Amino acid sequence: MSIETIVQMIYAAAVLIFFVCTVIARFAKGKPKEVAESILNVINVDKLLELIKEAETFKNYSAKEKLNYVLVHYQIDSMQNGEPFNAEEVEKEIEKLIDFSKNVNAKEQEEE
């Protein structure tokens, strides 16, 4: 699979998660609904993927430096758009995206 296919799969998964969270939020009352909405607002997967792709082009940078780049730029973007930012949640989402990508790449190598 190409990186483009991987990105499309991640995007589809994010849309599905968004849909499920929206359905749950509609059936929830009061505080759980607010929590679900705030979680949905915290993470913009498209922006994260864009920043991860950009960071991966950097040569001679450690994984930690690339992660910090993504976090800082995502935080700046969130602040400019008036969105909440939770570094721990965003970092968890980045790790999920990276793990997903590694799993897909490993399966591709097994098939070859």
The mean per-residue pLDDT over the stretch 90-109 comes to: 80
Contacts of 29 (CB under 8 A, 6+ apart): none
Q: How confident is the model at residue 38 (pLDDT cuts 50, 70, 90)?
A: low
Give the per-residue pLDDT at 72: 92
Does the structure show a pLDDT above 70 at 40?
no
Distances (CA, A) of 5 to 52, 84, 100, 105: 16, 30, 12, 11
pLDDT at 36: 58
Grouping H, G, I as helix, E, B as strand and the rest as coil, residue 29 is coil
The pLDDT value recorded for residue 69 is: 92
pLDDT bucket at 42, cuts 50 / 70 / 90: low
Cα gap 85→49, rounded to integer Å: 16
What local confidence, expressed as pLDDT, does residue 73 receive?
Answer: 92
Tell me the whole-structure pTM to 2 decimals.
0.59
